[in-house]
C-alpha cells in the first residue's frame, strides 16, 4: 500500500487526486492533507480518508479551527511553517504537490531534500528552482512524477527510449478560450471570459495562464528541467481538441504520442500508480466519436507570454524566477479586476527587464529574487 500526502487537498488537483484514491482503496493510504483555508471541505476529507496529520496553511484561521480539527485529528499543523514541516516528513512514499503558484516551491524542495518522491502538479516549483531541485533529486535519488498532462504524456512516450535519440519534444496546447478572438479586443477581455476554458476543468490561476498561454510557456520550462532537454528542442503545437497530450520525436523521424480524454484524473492517477496503469471505470476512449484532430502553429504575437517564457529560459538563471513571480502577481491582479488582460505580459516583461540578473541562483538567492519581484510588482500595481 502506498502512503500518500497531499498538499492542496481542497484545490482542483487535490480533490481529483482524492477521487482517484477512492477508486483504489486497497492501493493507497492517505497519511496527510493540507489545505489553505477551505476548512469545511477539509473536514469532509478528514471524515472520509482519516489522515494522521492535517495542516491549515492560512495562519489567520489557526485559532478558529484549532479546537474543531483537534477533535478529529491528533496531529494538526498550522501556517506556512506547518506546511513546510509536513512537506519534509519522510513517513510517506509519495508527496503530491497540488499547491498553486510560487508557494509550491519550498514544499517541493523540502520533500526532495528528505528523499521523498514527488508527484508534481506545481510546475512553478521547477520554473523557479529547476536547477536546485534537479541537483537535490540526483543527490537524494528521488523521483519526480509529473502530474501535468503534457509532461505525463512525454514521460510515457520516453519509457524505454534512449535520451540521446530524442530529437525534440512537441507540447500540445488547446490554444485556450481566445484562440480565435481578434487580438485588438484583448484589452477588453473580462475575468469571466478568461475563466471559461474550452476543454479542461482547472483552478482559476492555471485557467488564466491558459488564456494568456503563459501556461504553455511555463510548461516548456518545466519540460526542459524534467526531461533535461534544451528549450530550443521543445516546440508547441496548438491542438484544440486536447486529445493528444504531447509527443516526442526521435532521431529517425518517428513520433510517439500519448492520447486520452482531457481529464486530469488520468495523469494524476499515473503519477501515483507508476509504473502501473491501474484499471478504472472511466468513460472508454472513442476516437470515432471524437472524429477529427486538428493542429495549428502557436501565435507568438497574439500571446506574448509564450515568447517571454522561452526568452526567460534561454536567458536562464534568475529570469524564470522573475517571470514566474511576476506572472503569479499579474494574474492575481487581473482576477481582482485591478489590471487588464493585456497588462499581464506587459508587467511581466517590465519586471524581467528591470531586475539585476543572477546566474544559477541558490535557494536564498531565489527567495531574494522572489521578494524583489514581489515589491517591484506591488509598486507597479499600486502606481
Ligand atoms: Mg498542462
Domain ranges (residues) in the chain: 2-146, 151-262+289-382
Q: What is the mean pLDDT of residues 262-278?
A: 97
Helices (H), 185-282: 191-194, 204-212, 214-226, 265-273
Yes or no: say if 315 and 357 are a contact pair by the CB < 8 Å rule. yes
Ligand 1 center from residue 266 Cα (angstroms): 12
Could you report the per-residue pLDDT of 43-97, keeping only the tens digit for each?
A: 999 999 999 999 998 877 766 666 677 778 889 999 999 999 999 999 999 999 9
Ligand 1 center from residue 112 Cα (angstroms): 22
Cα 104 from Cα 102, distance rounded (Å): 5
Q: What is the mean pLDDT of residues 286-302?
A: 97
Domain 2-146 has CATH 1.20.1050.10: no
Q: Is the pLDDT of residue 254 over 90?
A: yes
Ligand 1 center from residue 286 Cα (angstroms): 22
Ligand 1 center from residue 239 Cα (angstroms): 13
pLDDT the model gives residue 226:
98
Q: What is the 8-class DSSP label of residue 335? A: H
Q: What is the per-residue burial (b if ≥16 Cβ within 10 Å, else e) of 156-190?
A: bbbeeeeeeebebbbbbbbbbbbbeeeeeebeebe
Ligand 1 center from residue 210 Cα (angstroms): 9
Ligand 1 center from residue 271 Cα (angstroms): 14
Ligand 1 center from residue 211 Cα (angstroms): 13
Ligand 1 center from residue 174 Cα (angstroms): 10
Q: What is the mean pLDDT of residues 356-372?
A: 97
- Band of pLDDT at residue 201, cut at 50, 70 and 90: confident
- Band of pLDDT at residue 200, cut at 50, 70 and 90: confident
Could you report the per-residue pLDDT of 207-238, keeping only the tens digit for each?
A: 999 999 999 999 999 999 999 999 999 999 99
Ligand 1 center from residue 219 Cα (angstroms): 7
Q: What is the mean pLDDT of residues 118-127?
A: 97
Give the angle subtended at the CA of 155 by the CAs of 97 and 160, to the nearest 5°: 140
CATH fold group of domain 151-262+289-382? Rna Polymerase Sigma Factor; Chain: A (1.10.1740)
pTM of the model: 0.96
Ligand 1 center from residue 150 Cα (angstroms): 5
- Band of pLDDT at residue 202, cut at 50, 70 and 90: confident
- Band of pLDDT at residue 282, cut at 50, 70 and 90: confident
How crowded is the C-beta side of 97, counted as CA atoms within 13 Å? 33
Cα 348 from Cα 98, distance rounded (Å): 24
Q: Is the pLDDT of residue 381 over 90?
A: yes
How far is CA 48 from its chain centroid?
26
Ligand 1 center from residue 64 Cα (angstroms): 36
Quick one: what percent of the chain has pLDDT higher than 70?
98
Amino acid at each position: 500500500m502506498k502512503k500518500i500526502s497531499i498538499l492542496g487537498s481542497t484545490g482542483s488537483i487535490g480533490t481529483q487526486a482524492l477521487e482517484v484514491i477512492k477508486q483504489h482503496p486497497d492501493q493507497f493510504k492517505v497519511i496527510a492533507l493540507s489545505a489553505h483555508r477551505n476548512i469545511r471541505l477539509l473536514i469532509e476529507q478528514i471524515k472520509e480518508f482519516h489522515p494522521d496529520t492535517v495542516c491549515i496553511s492560512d495562519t489567520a484561521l489557526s485559532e478558529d479551527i484549532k479546537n474543531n480539527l483537534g477533535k478529529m485529528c491528533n496531529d494538526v499543523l498550522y501556517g506556512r511553517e506547518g506546511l513546510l514541516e509536513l512537506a519534509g516528513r519522510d513517513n510517506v512514499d509519495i508527496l503530491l504537490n497540488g499547491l498553486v503558484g510560487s508557494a509550491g516551491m519550498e514544499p517541493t524542495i523540502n520533500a526532495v531534500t528528505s528523499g521523498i518522491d514527488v508527484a508534481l502538479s506545481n510546475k512553478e516549483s521547477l520554473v523557479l528552482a529547476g536547477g536546485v531541485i534537479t541537483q537535490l533529486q540526483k543527490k537524494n535519488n528521488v523521483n519526480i512524477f509529473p502530474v501535468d498532462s503534457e509532461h505525463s504524456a512525454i514521460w510515457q512516450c520516453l519509457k524505454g527510449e534512449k535520451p540521446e535519440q530524442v530529437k525534440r519534444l512537441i507540447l500540445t496546447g488547446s490554444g485556450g478560450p481566445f484562440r480565435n478572438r481578434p487580438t485588438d479586443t484583448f484589452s477588453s477581455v473580462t475575468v469571466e471570459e478568461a475563466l471559461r476554458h474550452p476543454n479542461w476543468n482547472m483552478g482559476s490561476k492555471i485557467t488564466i495562464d491558459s488564456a494568456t498561454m503563459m501556461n504553455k510557456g511555463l510548461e516548456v520550462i518545466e519540460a526542459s528541467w524534467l526531461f533535461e532537454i534544451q528549450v530550443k528542442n521543445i516546440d508547441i503545437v496548438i491542438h484544440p481538441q486536447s486529445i493528444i497530450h504531447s509527443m516526442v520525436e526521435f532521431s529517425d523521424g518517428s513520433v510517439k504520442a500519448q492520447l486520452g480524454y482531457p481529464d486530469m484524473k488520468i495523469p494524476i492517477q499515473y503519477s501515483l500508480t507508476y509504473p502501473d496503469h491501474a484499471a478504472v471505470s472511466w468513460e472508454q476512449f472513442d476516437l470515432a466519436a471524437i472524429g477529427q484532430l486538428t493542429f495549428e502553429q502557436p501565435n507568438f504575437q497574439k500571446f506574448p507570454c509564450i515568447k517571454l517564457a522561452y526568452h526567460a529560459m534561454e536567458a536562464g538563471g534568475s529570469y524564470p524566477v522573475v517571470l514566474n513571480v511576476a506572472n503569479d502577481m499579474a494574474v492575481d491582479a487581473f482576477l481582482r479586476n485591478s489590471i487588464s488582460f493585456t497588462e499581464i505580459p506587459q508587467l511581466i516583461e517590465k519586471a524581467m527587464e528591470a531586475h539585476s540578473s543572477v546566474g544559477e541562483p541558490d535557494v536564498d538567492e531565489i527567495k531574494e529574487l522572489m521578494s524583489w519581484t514581489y515589491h517591484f510588482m506591488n509598486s507597479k500595481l499600486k502606481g
